C-alpha cells in the first residue's frame, strides 16, 4: 500500500512515466506508438475505476457508460465544431453531467453494493442497445452520423485554436501520455485531501462516517462524478487512437474487462490498474498475432491462474512482499543488535566476575 498512500510516490511514478514518454518514440516502433494512444485511453478508464472503486468503495460495473459517452460526445462534437479542444471539454462535461444525474438517482435513493453495480451496468447496456439502434441516415447530430453498429469516425486531435493543424501520431501520443500522467497525479492528490480521506472513511465504514456527521451521499456523488469525468477523457483518447467509436465501448465485455484490470492491478492502488491495462492489452494482442492456440483458451487459463495465485492483485502483492521483507529485515537487525548487546552484557558480567 505504501506506493499509493504516499503522494511522493505518485510524483516519482509520474516522473518515470514522463521519462518513458520522451524516449518512447526512439525505442518503440512507429505503429506501437500509434496503437499506444488507444491503450492510454483504456488505462485512463482503468484509473477512473481505480479511484471510484478502490478509494470510493463504489463498485461501478458500468464505468464504460461514461467512457463511451465521452467517446461519442467527442466524436460528435469534434465533427461539428471542426476542432478538438472544445470537443474534449464537452466530452468530459457530458460524462460528468450524466454521472451526476445518475449518481443523484442512486446515491440519494440509498441503492448500494451489488445493486448499484447492476444499475450502472444496466445503464451501460441500455446505452449499448440504444446506440446500436441508430443505423439509419436519420440519426444524425449536426454533421455527425451516429452510424449504429458500424459506429462513427472520430477526428484526430489538433493543436488548440487551429482546426486544420492535426497532430502527428507521436504528438497525439505525447498529449495522451501527458493527460494520463496529469490525471494520475490528480487522483493521487485527491485521495490525500480531506475529501479523499472522507471517501476512504466511507469505504471503510459508511455508518461510522455518517455518525461523524458527514453527508456520505454527497461525498459518494462527488467521487463518482469525478471518476466519470476521467472516464470520459479516457473515451476521448481511446476513440482518437482507434480513429473510430463503435457501440462496443458500452458492451458487457468492455465493462467486465475494466473491472478485471482493476482486480489484476490491485484495489487501493492507482498505478496497479494502469499497468494491468497495458499488460493485459499487450497479452491479448500478442495472442491475436499467433496462430497455434485459440486466443480465448490461453487468456482464460491465464486469468484463472491469476485469481488463484495472486489473489490481491499485482501491486498490493508486491508491496506486501516488500513490506514483509523490510519488516523481517528490521526485526532481524533488531534481533542482531539485541544479541550483540546481550552478549556484550554477558561479556561484561563475565569480565566483572
Partner 1 sequence: MDLVLSLILQIIYGIANLALISLGLAIIFGMMRVINLAHGEFLMLGGYTVVVATNNGVNLWVAMLILAPLVVGVFGVIVERLLIRWLYGRMVDTLLATWGLSLLCIGLVTSIFGASTTTTISPPLGVVTIGEYTSSGYELFLIGVTVALLIAVYATLKLTKLGLLARGTMQNSDMAAALGVSTSRIYMITFGLGAAVSGLAGGLLAPITGVLPTIGSVYIAKAFITVISGGMAILAGTTTASILLGGVNGIVAFLTGPTIGEVALLLLAIILLRLMPRGITGRFFKKSL
Partner 2 sequence: MQFNRRRFLTAASAAALATPAINRRAMAASHSGPIKFVSILDQSGGLDIYGKPMVDTTKMAIDEINAAGGLLGREIDLQVFDPQSTIQFYTQFATQAAAGEKADVVHAGITSASREAIRPTFSRFKTLYFYNTLYEGGVCDLNTFCTGSTPAQTVEKLVPHTMGKWGKKVYIIAADYNYGQITAQWVQKYVKDNGGEAVETEFFPLDVTNFGPTIKKIQAAKPDMVMSALVGGAHVSFYRQYAAAGMNKSIPIASTTFGVGNEHKLISAEEGDGMICAYSYFEEVDNAANKAFVQRFKDRMGDDAPALNELAARSYEAAYIWAEAVKAAGTPEREAVIEALRSGAGYDGPSGRVAIEPKTNHANQNVYLAELKDQSFNIIETHENQPPTDTLLVCDLVADPNQSTFKFENGLEAAGIEL
Site residues (CB under 8 A) for partner 2? 29-32, 34-35, 38, 129, 132-133, 135-137, 145, 147-151, 153-156, 164-166, 168-169, 238, 241-244, 246, 248, 284-285, 287-289, 291, 294-296
Of residues 149 and 189, the one with the C-beta less far from partner 2:
149
Show the 3-state SS of the chain.
Answer: CHHHHCHHHHHHHHHHHHHHHHHHHHHCCHHHHHHHHHHHHHHHHHHHHHHHHHHCCCCCCCHHHHHHHHHHHHHHHHHHHCCCHHHHHHHHHHHHHHHHHHHHHHHCCCCCHHHHHHHHHHHHHHHHHHHHCCCCCCCEECCEECCHHHCEECCCCECCCCCCCECCHHHHHHHHHHHHHHHHHHHHHHCCCHHHHHHHHHHHCHHHHHHCCCCHHHHHHHHHHHHHHHHHHHHHHHHHHHCEECHHHHCHHHHHHHHHHHHHHCCCCCHHHHHHHHHHHHHHHHHHCCCCCCHHHHHHHHHHHHHHHCCCCHHHHHHHHHHHHHHHHHHHHHHHHHHHHHHHHHHHHHHHC
**Quick one: which of 149, 116, 125 has its CA closest to 250?**
125
Is 218 a binder of partner 1 (CB under 8 A)? no
Q: C-beta of 148: minimal distance to partner 2 in Å?
A: 5
Q: C-beta of 259: minimal distance to partner 2 in Å?
A: 17
Of positions 30, 101, 110, 204, contacts partner 1 by CB under 8 A: 110
Q: Which does 288 bind (CB under 5 to 8 A by kind): partner 2, partner 1, none?
A: partner 2
Is 122 a binder of partner 1 (CB under 8 A)? yes
R_g of the chain computed on alpha carbons: 24
Q: Which does 111 bind (CB under 5 to 8 A by kind): partner 2, partner 1, none?
A: partner 1
Of residues 190 and 299, the one with the C-beta less far from partner 2:
299
Binding-site size for partner 1 (CB under 8 A) equals 43
Of positions 60, 94, 132, 217, contacts partner 1 by CB under 8 A: 132
Is 286 a binder of partner 1 (CB under 8 A)? no
Q: Which does 40 bind (CB under 5 to 8 A by kind): partner 1, partner 2, none?
A: none
Is 136 a binder of partner 1 (CB under 8 A)? no
**Quick one: which of 252, 111, 268, 281 has its CA closest to 203?**
268
Is 259 a binder of partner 1 (CB under 8 A)? yes
Q: Which does 163 bind (CB under 5 to 8 A by kind): partner 1, partner 2, none?
A: none
* Grid-cell match 490461453, residue found: 298
Is 302 a binder of partner 1 (CB under 8 A)? yes
**Quick one: which of 24, 42, 13, 45 has its CA closest to 282?**
42
Is 101 a binder of partner 1 (CB under 8 A)? no
Q: Which stretch binds partner 1 (CB under 8 A): 92-100, 203-211, 290-298, 340-348?
A: 290-298
Is 146 a binder of partner 1 (CB under 8 A)? no
Is 126 a binder of partner 1 (CB under 8 A)? yes
Q: C-beta of 111: minimal distance to partner 1 in Å?
A: 4
**CA 301 to CA 299: how far, in whole Å?**
6
Of residues 154 and 228, the one with the C-beta less far from partner 2:
154
Q: Which does 338 bind (CB under 5 to 8 A by kind): partner 2, partner 1, none?
A: none
Residues contributing to the site for partner 1 (CB under 8 A): 59, 105-106, 109-112, 114-115, 118-119, 121-123, 125-126, 129-130, 132-133, 252-253, 256, 259-260, 263-264, 293-304, 306-308, 311
Amino acid at each position: 500500500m505504501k506506493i499509493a498512500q504516499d503522494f511522493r510516490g505518485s510524483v516519482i511514478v509520474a516522473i518515470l512515466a514522463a521519462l518513458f514518454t520522451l524516449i518512447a518514440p526512439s525505442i518503440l516502433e512507429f505503429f506501437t506508438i500509434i496503437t499506444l494512444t488507444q491503450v492510454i485511453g483504456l488505462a485512463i478508464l482503468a484509473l477512473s475505476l481505480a479511484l471510484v472503486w478502490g478509494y470510493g468503495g463504489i463498485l461501478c460495473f458500468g464505468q464504460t457508460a461514461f467512457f463511451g459517452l465521452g467517446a461519442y460526445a467527442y466524436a460528435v462534437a469534434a465533427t461539428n465544431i471542426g476542432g478538438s479542444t472544445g470537443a474534449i471539454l464537452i466530452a468530459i462535461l457530458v460524462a460528468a453531467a450524466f454521472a451526476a444525474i445518475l449518481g443523484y438517482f442512486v446515491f440519494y435513493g440509498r441503492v448500494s453494493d451489488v445493486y448499484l453495480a447492476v444499475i450502472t451496468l444496466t445503464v451501460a447496456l441500455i446505452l449499448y442497445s440504444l446506440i446500436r439502434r441508430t443505423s439509419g441516415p436519420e440519426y444524425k447530430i449536426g454533421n455527425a452520423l451516429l452510424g449504429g453498429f458500424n459506429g462513427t469516425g472520430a477526428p484526430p486531435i489538433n493543436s488548440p485554436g487551429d482546426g486544420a493543424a492535426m497532430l502527428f501520431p507521436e504528438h497525439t501520443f505525447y498529449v495522451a501520455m501527458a493527460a494520463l500522467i496529469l490525471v494520475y497525479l490528480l487522483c493521487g492528490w485527491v485521495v490525500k485531501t480531506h475529501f479523499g480521506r472522507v471517501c476512504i472513511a466511507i469505504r471503510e465504514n459508511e455508518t461510522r462516517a455518517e455518525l461523524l456527521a458527514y453527508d456520505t451521499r454527497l461525498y459518494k456523488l462527488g467521487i463518482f462524478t469525478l471518476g466519470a469525468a476521467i472516464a470520459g477523457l479516457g473515451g476521448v483518447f481511446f476513440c482518437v487512437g482507434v480513429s473510430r467509436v463503435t457501440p462496443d465501448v458500452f458492451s458487457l465485455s468492455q465493462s467486465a474487462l475494466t473491472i478485471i484490470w482493476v482486480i489484476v492491478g490491485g484495489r487501493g492502488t492507482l498505478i496497479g490498474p494502469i499497468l494491468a491495462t497495458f499488460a493485459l492489452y499487450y497479452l491479448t494482442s500478442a495472442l491475436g498475432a499467433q496462430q497455434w492456440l485459440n486466443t480465448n483458451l490461453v487468456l482464460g487459463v491465464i486469468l484463472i491462474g491469476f485469481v488463484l495465485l495472486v489473489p490481491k492483485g499485482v501491486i498490493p502483492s508486491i508491496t506486501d512482499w516488500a513490506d514483509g521483507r523490510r519488516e523481517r529485515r528490521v526485526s532481524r537487525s533488531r534481533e542482531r543488535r539485541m544479541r550483540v548487546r546481550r552478549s556484550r552484557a554477558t561479556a561484561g558480567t563475565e569480565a566483572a566476575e
